[in-house]
Amino acid sequence: MTGLDPAEYRRLLDVETVRLASVDAASLSSDIPHIAGWTVHSVVGHTAWLLRYISLCLQASPDDPPARSAIGEPPVGADVFPWFAEAAERVRAILADADLDTMRPTWTGPQPTSWWLRRVTQEIAMHRWDAQSATGLPDPIDTDLARDGIEEVLEVFVPNRLQFDVLAGTGETIHLHATDAADGEWMLDLQPDEVRWGRGHAKGDAAARGPMADLLLLLWSRIPPSRLEVFGDVGLLDRWQEAAKF
């Protein structure tokens, strides 16, 4: 697994946890503009539920994942915030002292604990952005975390969650170009049952150019291609977003 230094993941996990916990309780019923049917309460409750499940995974045998039914439903109203805070503190405490090489269950099969450190940091950062976007201009996702998040999408989510029948790739290429980092370029080669990718500069059938965080949000279908500088076949980016509703 590529990624950030564990200490940096832990620092960013703390930062993003505080940001999500600080969302105004008065906004709980506000709609998330890019996730149909979700409100701020949905986001906070979902994140807290997932953190509880991750805590169980971080203490389970690698071949014996916990039952999802072991976690109850989020409380209604503002009680969801202490429910989130309790879950976040539990995960952070476990990860603070964990051996990152110890194998644990994940939805991709057994993985080292470092896999969960990366995943939980990315998860909270994205859902914090979701919650803040419901009521105003969200804080940008950290550039280094966004770079790592792009590669997590390509390494973890594309092989396991991408709807290849929707993407229907036949060798088309997408170039991602970050404008705020020297090492922020990727080429994606869309095949019928895989996405081949690598770092570097080349001309693609479609290209998206913008800040690193916006490229990550594009891959996660959080913002439309029109939020970036786009060249070539914009329809390829639309197909990606339809297939990448992770």
Taken as a whole, the chain contains a residue count of: 246
177 and 211 in contact (C-beta within 8 Å)? Answer: no
Hey, what are 143's tokens?
């550039």
Alpha-helical (H) ranges within the chain are: 6-21, 40-57, 80-97, 113-133, 143-152, 158-161, 164-167, 212-219, 234-243
What would the pLDDT profile of 119-175 be if each residue is shown by its tens digit?
999 999 999 999 999 998 999 999 999 999 999 999 999 999 999 999 999 999 999
What would the pLDDT profile of 33-92 be if each residue is shown by its tens digit?
999 999 999 999 999 999 999 999 999 999 999 999 999 999 999 999 999 999 999 999
Owning domain of residue 66: 6-133
To which H or E segment does residue 207 belong?
strand 206-210
Q: Of 84, 114, 133, which one is at a domain's C-terminal end?
A: 133
Within a 10 A sphere around the Cβ of 163, how many other Cβ atoms? 12
99 shares its domain with 174: no
56 shares its domain with 122: yes
- Would the pLDDT of 204 be above 80? yes
166 shares its domain with 59: no
186 in any annotated domain:
yes
- Average pLDDT over all residues of the chain: 96
